[in-house]
Amino acid sequence: MHELSITRNIVAIVSEHARGRRVRALQLRIGALSGIDVPAVRACYALCVEGTPLDGSRLDVEEVPGAARCRGCAAEIPLSAPLGVCPCERRALLDRTSGDELLIASMEVEDV
């Protein structure tokens, strides 16, 4: 499963960054068009944190809606599918401006 390897990767990065400190909370930012299933990430997280500095931590996920800019009229419009054309009269192509992100927004570590 794709979410399992993504989550495992995130947990590895955060564990390394925590340098031996316990992680209390982790905030991820996941785009609506990223193809990543948030409930699956949550389920994988519970498994992947076992025995790591993230064990028992809280996972917050901020879902970022899709948005794009039209190459024709420069309008910024919401995007619900990965690709699309602008509803303007030019039917121009859209360049995605958000919605495909996968970011570690912040992490809360225990004070030493």
Note the residues at the interface with Zn ion (CB under 5 A): 70, 72-73, 86, 88
Nearest approach in angstroms of CB 68 to Zn ion is: 10
Of residues 46 and 73, the one with the C-beta less far from Zn ion: 73
Contact 82, 6 (CB under 8 A): no
Nearest approach in angstroms of CB 72 to Zn ion is: 4
Nearest approach in angstroms of CB 37 to Zn ion is: 31
Of residues 8 and 69, the one with the C-beta less far from Zn ion: 69
CA distance 72 to 59: 40
Helix (H) or strand (E) holding 11: helix 2-18
Treating both helix axes as pointing N-terminal to C-terminal, what angle do 38-48 and 2-18 enclose, rounded to 10 degrees? 50
Of residues 13 and 88, the one with the C-beta less far from Zn ion: 88
